[in-house]
Amino acid sequence: MSAALTADLESLAERLRASTVAVRLGRGGAGSGVIWSSDGAIVTNAHVASRPWAEVVLADGRRCEARVERRDAGRDLALLRVAASGLPAASVRDPAELRVGEVVVALGHPFGVPNALSMGIVHAPLGTGERRFVQADLRLAPGNSGGPLADAAGRVVGINSMVAGGLALAVPADDVQRFLGALPEPERLGVLLAAARLRDGGDALVIVAIEPGGRAEAAGLRIGDVLRTRDAARLRFASALEVLRGGATVTVPIPAQRGAGRAA
């Protein structure tokens, strides 16, 4: 590895360390967290912050009692609050800008090892199925949960959540912003759905009604279209849907503009 690349990685790790904390419950190290704003707001996973209180260890060694202010188990996110100000908040990037093959890094405290950095590439920027994750081909271990997934400039694109199929899965930064109220939730699709089982045994949802004037109608979705998913709540995040229509698979772009839908 060249000296220049080594220096760049060291600088990147140092920037991330400043805004990454250890989150501890009881005697053991539970995971990691990211300083989201300088006024003491820290984001981690809901499965890390499983109790009303936690201990947070800052990069400078300070230990702070943190109150769990909010949890969303569905998104696997939790907001911790510490009585501190002037903290080094992370820089954030819209994960929709990521491209497959882009270099990303994760920082955390795996197996109790402080500030460990791992590097890999983006495998898939964002999913639109049952769970919406940034997928990266890099190594995560117990203790990385709740820590940052960041691009080569040190901008956080997600909160590391789990490993599946050998890939690191991170909750996208825009989902974090919605969880915190900094971004509005997207409007619902505007369809009424019924559960179905496909011939191959897979679960699906069938459109049985479409709300007039909603996003689904604007997209050209039809009654009888079959969606290969079980999670209706996540459909509103999709920029396009793969639907089964008349025995064929059709890709339907979904408009981003706000609509008046109230169903899924």
User: Among residues 37, 39, 47, 137, which one is catalytic?
Assistant: 47
Q: Residue 247's Cα: distance from chain center in Å?
A: 34
Q: Which residues contact 53 (CB under 8 A, 6 or more apart)?
A: 65, 66, 67, 68
User: Among residues 145, 174, 175, 225, which one is catalytic?
Assistant: 145
Pairing of strands 116-124, 134-137: antiparallel
Helix (H) or strand (E) holding 81: strand 77-82
* In contact, 64 and 84? CB cutoff 8 Å: yes
Structure tokens at 98: 């990521």
Q: Can you tell me the distance from the alpha carbon of 254 to that of 217, in angstroms, rounded to the nearest whole number?
A: 10
Q: Could you confirm whether 145 is annotated as catalytic?
A: yes
Dihedral Cα 24, 29, 30, 31, nearest 10 deg: 100
Tell me whether residue 194 is exposed, middle or buried, using C-beta atoms within 10 angstroms of its C-beta: 0 to 12, 13 to 18, 19 or more: exposed
Tell me whether residue 183 is exposed, middle or buried, using C-beta atoms within 10 angstroms of its C-beta: 0 to 12, 13 to 18, 19 or more: middle
Structure tokens at 234: 């996540």
Q: Which residue has the tokens 């220096």?
A: 7
Q: Could you confirm whether 175 is annotated as catalytic?
A: no
Active site residues: 47, 76, 145
